[in-house]
């Protein structure tokens, strides 16, 4: 948790746990060779009581000759979270990270104890949690937040404070049963202790074991995610459904969680129901189907791909450009350029096949050509087929996602589709043995 030379920000509310933590670290500061900063946040939820706590912590820091970092939460309602508890936690961690950076500190020490851990495990269990939730609070998080008292019981802390005659403040909100954690502390745990006096210790051991196994599974999930990832872009991730389905069910759940975390940055408001729904979506017989999840996250199945993305899809509007002669022409709507040039038959014979290139009989073409995107009802004579076929059916055959179809350029000659760019040319415009003039068409992405 602590290295020699560290500067440690100690989060002190004024309650027994944080005061005990500060006093112990202060006594050990020379032996550990550390510097301490006292950090106190006034949440502004209990006007008179908050002010008394602030004064108490300020006096405590002054007595110990330690620097006090202080702030007051003025915009608690604007913080993330659905409850006051979650909002307060969000603001508190923002404050602690700010102090961490301001004083170039290495660690933030928090006063959570074994009882807090037991309450957390029970709270997660009641809300519906898997091994990750039952892992409770980690002793070390992000290599910065440490909980030195996590294996010390609340009774031991109070005994120590009493023996050392150390004063502290009591938070009246801890007695309010409208908060789930308080109800667990004040009602459920005393009841369960009648059945198992070692309940607190057992829940602490459970959290430890779940944390070890959870860490192993997370490492395996990271490997699994790398294995199934097809494409990774800003705010989106494409997974191979075939590879994903070959994983064990337990690992599938973990990989999906990791995919969400990679795209979203966290797992806030994501529960087991959402993961199950994504599994059902992946197994759905429909080739294309999507679902929306909290905080603007979308999951879409497109044939053998499962895409996780943030934000709403913006559909490409209709566009149409006349191409009067050979040359290079940018199509800004799809960030692509089409180049047209006449080539010799020798160059044609030496060329290598590429989906990004098409060779057309120039004598059958009439300038201007037209570059546009897909319209409902489009049809042409695909190379190698006798008769017309709908462009939409060609898209389906090639498993082109519906949202990508408007982004595919179509080259047209006198109302005939001559090339669905990157997919197929029209058989009527192919280069034949008698062809004298050849037009090479090439599509490529614009360079940024």
Total Cβ atoms within 10 A of residue 287: 13
CA dihedral (218, 222, 228, 230) positive or negative: positive
Q: Where is 335: in which H helix or E strand?
A: none
Q: Where is 177: in which H helix or E strand?
A: none
Residue with tokens 């049963």: 177
- Residues ≥6 apart with Cβ < 8 Å to 410: 371, 372, 373, 374, 378, 391, 417, 419, 420, 421
Give the whole-angstrom CA distance, residue 218 versus residue 160. 38
pLDDT of residue 119: 97
Query: How many residues are recorded in the chain?
Result: 448
pLDDT along the chain (448 residues), means of 10: 97 97 98 98 84 96 98 68 77 95 98 98 90 94 96 97 96 82 95 97 97 95 95 88 95 96 90 92 92 92 93 78 94 94 93 93 96 95 93 93 90 96 96 95 85
Total Cβ atoms within 10 A of residue 127: 10
pLDDT of residue 243: 96
Separation of first and last alpha carbons in the chain: 46
> Which residues on neighbouring strands pair with residue 445, listed in sequence order?
336
Instruction: Identify which of 118, 115, 111, 114 has the alpha carbon closest to the alpha carbon of residue 96.
Output: 111
Question: Quick check: 238 and 230 in contact, CB under 8 A?
Answer: yes
Whether the ω angle into residue 368 lies within 30 degrees of 0, i.e. cis, is yes
Question: Quick check: 415 and 426 in contact, CB under 8 A?
Answer: no
Fold of 320-445: Phenylalanyl-tRNA Synthetase; Chain B, domain 3 (3.50.40)
Q: Up-side HSE of residue 10: CA atoms within 13 Å toward CB?
A: 30
Q: What is the pTM of this model?
A: 0.70
Radius of gyration for the chain, computed over Cα atoms and rounded to the nearest angstrom: 32
Burial of 64 (0-12, 13-18, 19+ CB in 10 A): middle
Backbone angles phi, psi at 357, to 5 degrees: -125, 150
pLDDT of residue 367: 95
Domain 7-206 and domain 234-310, same fold? Reply is no
Helices 272-283/249-264 angle, 10° precision: 110
Each domain of the chain, given as residue ranges in start order, spans: 7-206, 234-310, 320-445
The CATH class that applies to domain 234-310 reads alpha beta
Give the whole-angstrom CA distance, residue 257 versus residue 307. 13
pLDDT of residue 312: 61
According to the CATH classification, is domain 7-206 in 3.40.50.620? yes
């Amino acid at each position: 948790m602590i290295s020699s030379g560290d500067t440690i920000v100690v989060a002190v509310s004024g309650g027994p746990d944080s005061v005990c933590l500060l006093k112990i670290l202060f006594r050990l500061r020379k032996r550990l060779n550390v510097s301490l900063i006292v950090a106190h946040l006034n949440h502004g939820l209990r006007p008179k009581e908050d002010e008394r706590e602030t004064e108490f912590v300020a006096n405590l820091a002054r007595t110990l000759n330690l620097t006090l970092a202080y702030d007051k939460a003025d915009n608690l309602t604007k913080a993330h979270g659905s409850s006051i508890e979650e909002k307060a936690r969000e603001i508190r961690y923002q404050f602690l990270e700010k102090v961490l950076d301001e004083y170039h500190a290495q660690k933030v020490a928090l006063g959570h104890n074994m009882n807090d851990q037991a309450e957390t495990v029970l709270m997660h269990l009641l809300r519906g949690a898997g091994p990750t939730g039952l892992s409770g609070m980690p002793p070390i998080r992000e290599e910065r937040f440490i909980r030195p008292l996590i294996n010390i019981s609340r009774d031991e802390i109070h005994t120590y404070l009493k023996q050392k005659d150390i004063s502290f403040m009591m938070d009246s909100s801890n007695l309010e049963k409208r908060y789930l954690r308080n109800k667990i502390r004040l009602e459920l745990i005393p009841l369960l202790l009648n059945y198992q006096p070692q309940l607190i210790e057992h829940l602490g051991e459970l959290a430890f074991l779940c944390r070890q196994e959870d860490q192993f599974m997370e490492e395996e999930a990271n490997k699994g995610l790398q294995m199934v990832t097809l494409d990774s872009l800003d705010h989106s991730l494409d997974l191979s459904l075939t590879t994903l389905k070959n994983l064990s069910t337990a690992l599938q759940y973990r990989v999906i969680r990791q995919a969400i975390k990679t795209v979203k940055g966290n797992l806030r408001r994501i529960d087991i129901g959402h993961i199950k729904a994504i599994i059902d979506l992946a197994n759905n017989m429909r080739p294309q189907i999507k679902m929306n999840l909290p905080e603007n996250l979308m999951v879409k199945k497109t044939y053998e791909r499962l895409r996780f993305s943030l934000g709403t899809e913006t559909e490409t509007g209709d566009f149409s450009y006349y191409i009067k002669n050979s040359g290079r022409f940018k199509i800004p709507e799809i960030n692509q350029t089409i180049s047209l040039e006449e080539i010799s038959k020798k160059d044609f014979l030496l060329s290598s096949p590429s989906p990004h290139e098409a060779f057309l009989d120039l004598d059958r073409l009439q300038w201007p050509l037209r570059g546009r995107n897909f319209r409902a009802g489009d049809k042409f004579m695909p190379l190698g087929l006798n008769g017309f076929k709908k462009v939409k059916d060609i898209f389906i055959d090639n498993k082109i996602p519906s949202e990508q179809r408007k982004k595919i350029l179509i080259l047209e000659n006198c109302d005939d589709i001559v090339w669905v760019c990157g997919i197929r040319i029209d058989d009527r415009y192919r280069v034949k043995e008698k062809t004298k003039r050849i037009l090479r068409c090439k599509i490529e992405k614009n360079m940024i």
